[in-house]
Structure 1
């Protein structure tokens, strides 16, 4: 049976320092057929020139250039132009193992109920690496926190069905919201039993910038506005600032007749 094309979509904003290493890790994948789309999101460094050089050197690589519009927009642009049935987003400074895609494809091709396949992961910088302790997937757990990093494999048709990544979610963790809308009404999730994803810790990483209390409040308000039905079902009411306390707090308010 002929293998189906996988599209790796790499949004890049001022990540020239790491981009080639990321692309090389994608090219080292033992899965074929493969295409790599680098989406330059209005970088101010030499990311675009580097991406074009890499594309000229390898026919598997395509480059898309857009004005700075944010990572959700860059992912959507790349996925919209991807030719593959399956998509793997990979940020411009992260890495994957050579067997990650081939193992993930085996799962989705043999089980149509599976919507998302990811793996175990590590966080790393120049000095060290440490395991990324991800909680097991459940919809109830997904209502309180995200345990699926963005570099997971899914079908392009499922991305289309939910309208892609939400480009108006500017306060971070847009991948969490994407998984909520893709999975809240069904679909299985599989975590592969090996480390296949390497998340780079950098001084200016987006997770740090979006980790403030203000951003968290904006994020929770956004999620409640868009997915109130999901939180009602899983948490008996809205997601709260102290997320793990959402369900007991909502339950108490109901008992007191205040919700």
Structure 2
């Protein structure tokens, strides 16, 4: 079973569009008799978003809905992961879209390659504030340079991995407004590589990244937020 952990805050009508996309992914998995559990984390959510999420047909009676007030994406994801029953866990965002084959294809790649694999969509399509697309890099590709992670994050936050990966490496706190640290997914990517996990892209899958004029990412970039310390960049002198 794949447990899909998705966090919502104040997405409002965008939440419905995202859940439509997740429902398509779920139905695709079910065509291959792969069950999907939805774990929804409502973190300091507004009333409209809460109503839209709770009434959406993607959210079924046996799914998990968690109401929290962390105001922190790292903590919200950790809480959702702890409630997940699936052998595999997917981390999705509440305002983005995903190709219908993404979850199932990622799970199949992990089953073929092993539990040490962390999966990312092959292509990222940006839309909204601006339109563009890009291929994400595979860690085993000849062009992969680990030192580049010092300057930028190679992957989006959308991942699928065995639950044991998330149990061994949790997301760090990302309360950038008070502490100046953020980019919890970037930090997690570095920590998992340091621990020996391999980040791979799943062929013929894509994620659709909603670019907004105001977002958590744009706020963190504007405020020059740093990722927390990680031994990934440690070197002996």
- TM bucket (normalised to shorter chain) is 0.7 to 0.9
Match of 2:124 in 1: 121
How far 1:82 sits from its partner (Å)?
Answer: 0.8
Which residue among 224, 228, 233 is the counterpart of 1:215? 224
Between Structure 1 and Structure 2, the one with more helix by share is 1
- Structure 1 segments of 4 or more deviating over 4 A? none
Q: How does the TM-score come out when normalised to structure 2? A: 0.83
Instruction: Return closer, same or farther for 1:105/1:208 CA change in 2, 3 Å cut-off.
Output: same
Q: What RMSD over aligned residues (CA atoms) do the two structures have, in Å?
A: 2.3
Match of 1:74 in 2: 76
C-alpha distance in structure 1 between counterparts of 2:40 and 2:57, whole Å:
9
Match of 1:166 in 2: 172
Instruction: Return closer, same or farther for 1:197/1:159 CA change in 2, 3 Å cut-off.
Output: same
Match of 1:131 in 2: 133
Structure with greater Cα Rg: 1
Larger deviation, residues 112-121 vs 5-14? 112-121
- How many corresponding residue pairs? 221
Unaligned runs of 5+ in 1: 237-258
Instruction: Return closer, same or farther for 1:175/1:103 CA change in 2, 3 Å cut-off.
Output: same
How far 1:142 sits from its partner (Å)?
Answer: 2.9
How far 1:195 sits from its partner (Å)?
Answer: 4.2
Q: How does the TM-score come out when normalised to structure 1? A: 0.77
How far 1:190 sits from its partner (Å)?
Answer: 1.4
Q: Which has the higher contact order (CA 8 A, sep 6+)?
A: 2
C-alpha distance in structure 2 between counterparts of 1:97 and 1:16, whole Å:
22
